[in-house]
Amino acid sequence: MKSNKKVAVLSSGGDAPGMNAAIRAVVRKGIYHNLIVYGVFHGFEGLIRGDIQEMKVGSVADIVHRGGTILKTARSDEMFTIEGQQKAANQLLERGIEALIVIGGDGSYRGAQTLAELGIKVVGIPGTIDNDIVGTDQTIGFDTAVNTVVDAVSKLRDTATSHERAFIVEVMGRNCGDIALRSGLAIGAESILIPEIPFNLEEIGEKLLRGYRRGKHHSIIIVSEGSGDIKEISTKLKEYSGFDSRVTILGHIQRGGAPSASDSVLGATMGGKAVEVLLEGKSEVMISYINNDIIDRPLDLAFGPRPPFNPELYNLANELAI
Ligand code: F6P
């Protein structure tokens, strides 16, 4: 891609801490290399209605440390229709914008893929707290969300200890148990329930009883949202162990807050790499973090099956919570 070419960036799907660092990197690295960079506001919804503005160096000042996304985000039903996709592509083509960088999850990548078929160069940057995108070891926002869970659970633990209770804490992640697994391991949870591994509530109840007999009078159980109804889980555990528990659903606080240093760096490096691959003339690629390296890979990798779940961390967490 040559100087003065026009590129655009948007964020889509659930917001994630570190998205702003990625947006800043796209805008500033693009301008540094003489590209004209546009921000698309409100995700694909905004693209369809032409909510597009040129970004200057100052447009991304003072955002690197902020959670959320200055471009706003949305989940767009219209982008699933052929008319919506054509309108979105036309908004870019009419302005002479050749390429679009999409920061979001695999649903957002699918939107990008349809635009590629309509003549737009596209690059995907994995931004979601869920860490559920095939083809990258980590997504922007995941590390911060895990730290948020750890912080929240350390507060709950004070109450769990004082009242000698069990706390069952639901965390986000859709069908991916990574937030639960990482945070559960970090806080030394008694049990971690994730969608990837079947669990037996009777055994978990017995584990609680074993701990109680050993003098442990509080416990924390982390449940990934894709593992089932947390209220039912609590009722069953009471049945099997006799313990009263309190249920806490952490919800959207996991999506907010300042990004961790790790997510800011991931956002900056991925944003920078996205501009680099466009300058090299590539399209239909995603930016990936693999073995400590930032690389580009084919976008459709993200649409393939998830690799088999590696149970190493899960097994370790169980071994440590005997
Ligand atoms: O994909 C991010 C995520 O926060 C998921 O963990 C959660 O299931 C979902 O989005 C919640 O979506 P919404 O913000 O639309 O309620």
Q: Whose CA is nearest to atom 3 of ligand 1?
A: 14
**Sign of the four-CA dihedral 273, 149, 131, 178:** positive
**What tens digit of pLDDT does each residue of 195-253 get?**
999 999 999 999 999 988 998 888 999 999 999 999 999 999 999 988 889 999 999 99
Q: Which residues pair with 317 in a beta bridge?
A: none
Task: Assess whether pLDDT exceeds 90 at residue 36.
Answer: yes
- The pair of structure tokens assigned to 207 is 């584990």
CA 56 – ligand 1 centroid, Å? 31
- The pair of structure tokens assigned to 265 is 């760096």
Measured from the Cβ of residue 320, the count of other Cβ atoms closer than 10 Å reads: 10
Contact at 8 Å (CB) between 219 and 160?
Answer: yes
CA 73 – ligand 1 centroid, Å? 12
User: In this predicted structure, what is the pLDDT of residue 238?
Assistant: 92
pLDDT mean over 39-66: 98
Share of the chain above pLDDT 70, in %: 99
Q: Locate the ligand 1 atom nearest the alpha carbon of residue 13 and give its number.
A: 1
Share of the chain above pLDDT 90, in %: 93
Active site residues: 130
CA 249 – ligand 1 centroid, Å? 13
* CB-defined site of ligand 1, < 6 Å: 14, 105, 128-130, 172-174, 225, 255
Tell me which CATH code domain 144-255 carries.
3.40.50.460
pLDDT band at 4 (very low <50, low <70, confident <90, very high): confident
Quote the radius of gyration of the chain (alpha carbons, Å).
22
Q: Which residues pair with 70 in a beta bridge?
A: none
pLDDT band at 322 (very low <50, low <70, confident <90, very high): confident
Mean pLDDT of the chain: 96
Q: Whose CA is nearest to atom 8 of ligand 1?
A: 174
Q: Locate the ligand 1 atom nearest the alpha carbon of residue 105 and give its number.
A: 1
**Between 74 and 322, where is the model more confident?**
74
User: In this predicted structure, what is the pLDDT of residue 212?
Assistant: 87
User: What residue ranges do the domains of the chain occupy?
Assistant: 6-141+259-303, 144-255
pLDDT mean over 7-23: 98
Task: Assess whether pLDDT exceeds 80 at residue 123.
Answer: yes
CA 233 – ligand 1 centroid, Å? 21
pLDDT mean over 113-133: 98
User: In this predicted structure, what is the pLDDT of residue 265?
Assistant: 98
Task: Assess whether pLDDT exceeds 80 at residue 3.
Answer: no
Using alpha carbons, select from 239, 227, 215, 233 the residue that is nearest to residue 167. Answer: 233
Q: Strands 219-224, 166-171: parallel, antiparallel or unpaired by DSSP? A: parallel
Q: Locate the ligand 1 atom nearest the alpha carbon of residue 16 and give its number.
A: 2
pLDDT band at 1 (very low <50, low <70, confident <90, very high): low
Report the residue among 142, 174, 176 best suited for mutation to probe ligand 1: largest number of ligand atoms under 8 A from its CB: 174
Same fold, 6-141+259-303 and 144-255: yes
- 2-6, 161-165, 178-182 — which is least confidently predicted? 2-6
User: In this predicted structure, what is the pLDDT of residue 217?
Assistant: 83
Tell me which CATH code domain 6-141+259-303 carries.
3.40.50.450
Q: Whose CA is nearest to atom 12 of ligand 1?
A: 14
Report the residue among 11, 129, 172, 223 best suited for mutation to probe ligand 1: largest number of ligand atoms under 8 A from its CB: 172
Q: Whose CA is nearest to atom 2 of ligand 1?
A: 14
Contact at 8 Å (CB) between 197 and 178?
Answer: no
Using alpha carbons, select from 216, 221, 209, 210 the residue that is nearest to residue 156. Answer: 221
CA 252 – ligand 1 centroid, Å? 8
pLDDT band at 2 (very low <50, low <70, confident <90, very high): low
User: In this predicted structure, what is the pLDDT of residue 243?
Assistant: 85
pLDDT mean over 65-69: 98
- The pair of structure tokens assigned to 49 is 């209605």
pLDDT mean over 104-108: 95
**2-5 long-range contacts, CB within 8 A, separation 24+:** 3/33, 3/34, 3/35, 4/34, 4/35, 4/36, 5/35, 5/36, 5/98, 5/99
User: In this predicted structure, what is the pLDDT of residue 157?
Assistant: 95
Contact at 8 Å (CB) between 233 and 107?
Answer: no
